[in-house]
Amino acid sequence: MRKSFMPFAPRLIAILILSLSGLAARAELVIEITKGVGQRTPVAIVPFGWEGSDAGAPLDVARVIAADLERSGRFDAIDEKDMLQKPTTGVEVDFDDWAILGVEAVVVGKLTQTGDNAYSLQFQLFDVFKRQQLVGYRMPASRGTMRIAAHRAADMIYEKLTGIPGVFGTQVAYVTSKGQDRDKTYTLVVSDADGENENTIMESRDPIMSPAWSPDSRRLAYVSFEGNQSSIFVQTLRTGNRVKVSSLPGINGSPAFSPDGRKLVLTLGGVDGNLDIHILDLSTRELTRLTTNRSIDTEGSWSPDGRQIYFTSDRSGGPQIYRIGINGGDPERITFEGSYNARPRLSPDGSKLALVHLDRGNYRIGVLDMARKELLIVSTGNQDESPSFAPNSDSLIYATRQGRNGVLETVSADGLVRSRLASGQSDVREPVWSPFPRY
């Protein structure tokens, strides 16, 4: 039944695909995957009640919550027609009716209209076996913020049930291209994490690359090739205003915000084309060069404490991951497995490093356990790229191919649960997951 939720996505269609075949090379994991699939927790998200003067509720809140929980791969939302009762408040819940269905948790709630464009969304989450409420919450919403409110409810439910903060209320930025061959239009898009609510941030006839979120989610840095020159812009999302922060001769690329949002790490090539890692202070415009090697040094990203930069360098021959302190010094090599490791991105908790790894002829997403130094391949395509961690460090988004088009997939950091955000018409790539929203 989970597919029945999906046609409501206008352009991006989320399809849950559980990956068994892709990880078959690591035989010991196949059993765990099978187990993981069987362990999807059955829950019931009862259709929300509606009290108001509008003809009907502005949003099917229960459907949004159920779709979020199912997309996580950890829950099965039971079908509405199987429900023996449809309570909208906690006092109406008959736990026996839910225990009989094998449901472990029940969510009930209702929407109440409080004004012309003002609503109150309330919900309660119950543990069926303990017969107790785990969380109850009420929040205001307008028609414009109703979907965000539903995602926020799903985040609270998910965290209560798993102990992991939910990321349904987050956003994703990505780049699309439309059109034939050389007659292309490139678009920088921000959507909700479920692919809904797409907003065009910037559109150009020239390529757009490497979007990066500011830590407060209010700005995006990106590379644009307007005028056949690469430049780095920082754009404020709400106003659309942007500032060109780097447009030196040669390459200006690979921007990433520091954890305090005051600096960018970026790649400059200069007239001689020697790509090196630099740090730009956004307020003073002071530029500090971190690497000087004649190799390609690029794709810098910050450690969560802001003290180190992880980057790609081919100083040893092929591309490998290195790290260097923000005050310079000798870079330390991080990856040794395989001939190609690139595009490092640390998880926000610092425990894992996502990268692009050449795996027997296929470019795939690898997750390096920073403590154990073990590399786990978590994607199954042959042109997978641009991994980006969710702010809860529990899953990643990356770009892969479907025929000639790029599509986005998310995967849990253990590689067990995968879902696809498929685009109907355009080529989608370079996804970056936003930080946690600030409500």
Give the binding site for another protein (CB under 8 A): 144, 181-183, 185, 190, 199-207, 209-210, 224-230, 235-242, 249-251, 253-254, 267, 269, 271-273, 275, 296, 298-299, 312, 314, 319, 340, 342-343, 356, 358, 363, 383, 385-386, 401, 404, 429-430
Kindly write down the DSSP assignment for every residue of 362-406, as one continuous string.
EEEEEEEETTTTEEEE----SB-EEEEE-TTSSEEEEEEEETTEE
Between 28 and 183, name the residue whose CB sits nearer to another protein: 183
Which is closer to another protein, CB of 236 or CB of 327? 236
- DSSP bridge pairs for 191: 172
- Dihedral sign for Cα 310, 341, 15, 41, please: negative
Q: How far is the CB of 427 from another protein (least distance, A)?
A: 10
d(CA 242, CA 225): 15
Residues 6+ apart with CB under 8 A from 377: 23, 25, 26, 357, 359, 364, 365, 366, 415
The sheet that has 208-213: what strands, in order across it? 208-213, 219-224, 231-236, 242-246
Q: Are 233 and 243 spatial neighbours (Cβ–Cβ below 8 Å)?
A: yes
Nearer to another protein, 252 or 392 (CB): 252
Q: How near is the Cβ of 207 to another protein at its closest, in Å?
A: 4
- The set of long-range contacts for 120-125, using a CB threshold of 8 Å and a minimum separation of 24, is 121/48, 121/61, 121/146, 121/149, 121/150, 121/153, 123/48, 123/61, 123/65, 123/153, 123/157, 124/89, 124/90, 125/156, 125/157, 125/160, 125/161
CB of 210 to another protein, least distance (A): 6
Query: Can you spell out the DSSP letters for 279-335?
Result: EEETTT--EEE----SS-EEEEEE-TTSSEEEEEE-TTSS-EEEEEETTEEEEEE--
State in angstroms the smallest separation of the CB of 302 from another protein: 15
**Selection from 327, 354, 326 nearest residue 341 by Cα:** 354
Closer residue to another protein, CB minimum distance, 81 or 360: 360
221 vs 417, beta carbon nearer another protein = 221
Interior CA angle at 257 toward 198 and 234, to 5°? 60
Shorter beta-carbon distance to another protein: residue 59 or 268: 268
What is d(CA 355, CA 342) in angstroms, rounded to the nearest whole number? 6
The least distance separating another protein from the CB of residue 259, rounded to whole angstroms, comes to: 21
When the beta carbons of 45 and 221 are compared against another protein, the nearer one is: 221
Nearer to another protein, 107 or 353 (CB): 353
What is the chain's length?
439
End-to-end CA distance of the chain: 32
Give the amino acid at 81: K
Tell the smallest beta-carbon distance from residue 341 to another protein (Å).
Answer: 9
- Least Å distance, CB 299 to another protein, is 5
Q: Which residues pair with 397 in a beta bridge?
A: 388, 410
C-alpha span between 60 and 48 (Å, rounded): 7
Two tokens, residue 182? 């050389």
Cβ proximity to another protein: between 83 and 201 the closer is: 201
| In the complex, minimum distance from the CB of residue 48 to another protein, in angstroms, rounded to a whole number | 24
* Cβ closest to another protein, residue 212 vs residue 422: 212
How far are the Cα atoms of 273, 279, 373, 393, 417 from residue 411, in angstroms, in the given order?
36, 31, 20, 11, 5
**What are φ and ψ of residue 109, in 5° steps?**
180, 175
Query: Closer CB to another protein, residue 280 or residue 356?
Result: 356
Cβ at position 232, least distance to another protein in Å: 12
CB of 385 to another protein, least distance (A): 6
